[in-house]
Homo-oligomer: A and B are copies of this chain.
Amino acid sequence: MSRTETRERLFTAAIELIAERGFAAASVDEIAGRAGCAKGTVYYNFGSKNALFTALLEYGVERFGAALRGAAEGLAPLDALSAVVRAELVFIGEHESFARLLIAETWRAGGDWPQAARLIRERTIDVVGDVLRSAVAAGDLRADLDVGTAASAVFGMVLLVALDWRTLQPDRPMDEVHATLMDLLRGRITT
């Protein structure tokens, strides 16, 4: 078994368990068990439970951010926005547990690690912010738009809607959800 493969198995196991029970309640024994390896392997590979969690967050956010950035690439600003929203839906559909973990563990109040988690989340939100900024620069969106708040609004809206979608109506086609979200964003709600 290669080291990276073991690491990935541990990642997915930890993501699932932490999404289900939260970081504190997910025991290392159980994570190792679900990943099909021994407890010692966790400590050989990561050194500590916290380090495993941090590595996992970075790994996941890296992929998440890359997926969003990749979706926007080479598109006109407004198309890019639509593509980023879709990419966020797709990513969450495929990595539901990670999304739950992200939402559950990164909006804590005070403490020690939240800085890391918060920065990571911001980095994800910033991709949306960049897309909005381009749209403003291209004259597609109002010049006085508060890009920071809007980015956070779009990202958060899609995140929570996606989780409700997976939880309550998983059979619903993604395009419908995407269409509703884009209608909302483009002001096509009012008559």
Identify the A interface with B (CB < 8 A). 16, 19-25, 78, 96-97, 100, 103-105, 107-111, 118, 139-142, 145-146, 149-150, 152-157, 159-161, 163-165, 167, 176-177, 180-181, 183-191
B residues near A103, Cβ cutoff 8 Å: 103-104, 107
Question: Mostly helix, strand, loop or mixed at chain A's interface?
Answer: helix
Residue picked from A100, A109, A152, A184, most chain B C-beta under 10 Å: A109
Bound CA–CA A67/B141 (angstroms): 33
Query: In the complex the two chains form, is B146's CB within 8 Å of A153's CB?
Result: no
Query: In the complex the two chains form, is A184's CB within 8 Å of B150's CB?
Result: yes
Partner of A97, one of B109, B153, B163, B191: B109
Query: Across the two chains, which residue of chain B brings its CB closest to A188?
Result: B187
Query: Across the two chains, which residue of chain B brings its CB closest to A189?
Result: B141
Partner of A159, one of B23, B97, B156: B156
B residues near A177, Cβ cutoff 8 Å: 149
Minimum CB–CB distance from A153 to chain B (whole Å) comes to: 5
B residues near A163, Cβ cutoff 8 Å: 107
Bound CA–CA A181/B19 (angstroms): 29
Query: Across the two chains, which residue of chain B brings its CB closest to A139?
Result: B191
Query: In the complex the two chains form, is A109's CB within 8 Å of B19's CB?
Result: yes
B residues near A160, Cβ cutoff 8 Å: 107, 152-153, 155-157, 159-160
Query: In the complex the two chains form, is A108's CB within 8 Å of B100's CB?
Result: yes
Query: In the complex the two chains form, is A21's CB within 8 Å of B186's CB?
Result: no
B residues near A176, Cβ cutoff 8 Å: 146
Query: In the complex the two chains form, is A150's CB within 8 Å of B189's CB?
Result: yes
Bound CA–CA A183/B141 (angstroms): 12
Residue picked from A19, A78, A180, most chain B C-beta under 10 Å: A180
Query: Across the two chains, which residue of chain B brings its CB closest to A111?
Result: B20
Query: Across the two chains, which residue of chain B brings its CB closest to A20?
Result: B109
Other than the given A20-B109, A22-B104, A100-B107, 6 more pairs (CB < 8 A) read A19-B108, A21-B24, A96-B109, A140-B191, A153-B161, A185-B187
